[in-house]
Amino acid sequence: MINGYPSEEDLRTRISNQLTWRGPTDTVALLWHGYLSALLEWGVIEVHIYDRLSALLPAVGNKELHEIFLDEQLSADQEQEIDNFLNRPKTQ
C-alpha cells in the first residue's frame, strides 16, 4: 500500500457504508468493482486486498472485469471456467 492512498480498512469502511446506504445493488457492486480494479491496476492495492474487498460485494460483472484485465474478449472456455468458479460450493 502506498502512503497517502486509502488503506484496506478505509476502503472496507467506505464499501460497508455504501452497502448500508444503498444496499447490495448491481450499481453499487459494479461501481466498486471498477474502482477496486483501477486501484489494483495502478498498483495502489495488492491482489490479496483486491480479493478480500471484492468479496464484500455481490458477484456481478465478473466476466466483463476479466475482459478488462485481459484486454480481450473471453473465449467460451474462459466464460465456462468463470461460471464454474462462481458456482462452486462455498467453503467455510
Residue 26's SS3 state is helix
Query: Which of 8, 9, 31, 7 lies closest to 18 in space, CA to CA?
Result: 31
pLDDT tens-place string over residues 9-35: 999 999 999 999 999 999 999 999 999
Indicate the domain borders of the chain: 1-58, 61-92
pLDDT tens-place string over residues 47-77: 999 999 999 999 888 888 888 888 899 999 9
Determine what percent of the chain falls in helix, strand and coil, rounding each to the nearest 5. 65, 0, 35
What would the mean pLDDT of 43-48 be, rounded to a whole number? 95
- Global pTM exceeds 0.85: no
